[in-house]
Structure 1
Amino acid sequence: MRIEDIPQIALYTFVVLIFYVPIFIALMKKHSHRIAILSINFVGGIALWHTVAGWIALKESSTLVEINIRIFLLVAAGAAICWLVSLVWCFVDPKKSKTISAVSDSGEIDSEKNAGSK
């Protein structure tokens, strides 16, 4: 490793950590949908990193550069959407199901009607 490579390695490390922040937040908050958040974020990350690696490999040949730029931008946009969805989702707490309380309320109403009619 050369000394000139350290800033680039630090930048890549920072980008990786920032990209996976939604996973860290969901796990720390013990979010009830943390597996789904992890899946969305992980799939977006894998797509982005595979595209970057493919872009670097194909950049050497430069025969299909314009097509590769479009594909790269499309996949990068998809990864950004995955990241944004998982980031927003990790801060949104799911509401408690009101169907259970509605059933118990209707049960209480039925028991009150039966008690009043006797």
Structure 2
Amino acid sequence: MGVLAVVASTAMNAFDQRDAAQERILSIERIGSETEALQIEFLMARRDEKDFLLRKMAKYVDRHTASMDNMDQGFHVLSEHLNELPEMADAVVACQNYRSTFKNTALYLALL
């Protein structure tokens, strides 16, 4: 009976470890997916910035704002997984500064 209890306990422990590993793998996959989405949104924001600077049309400011809003949401999702990384805070601040600088530039150019 004692051997059976040890085997059962070991099996339960192995199942718990497997479940924890699967959960961590899914979390890593979500992080990778969200990071890729952030990269794409940033590239879109840069594209909208360049289009605005070339054409001076308000629709590109709106598109830029939408891309930056999507990035804010992406950072929020990532922060649930990576809140212990100081780079996350630096990236969020850098994006906020970029957003603010673009907005000020757009306002200035609209006055010209």
TM-score by length of 2: 0.45
Structure with bigger RCO (C-alpha 8 Å, 6+ apart): 1
Q: Which is greater in Rg?
A: 1
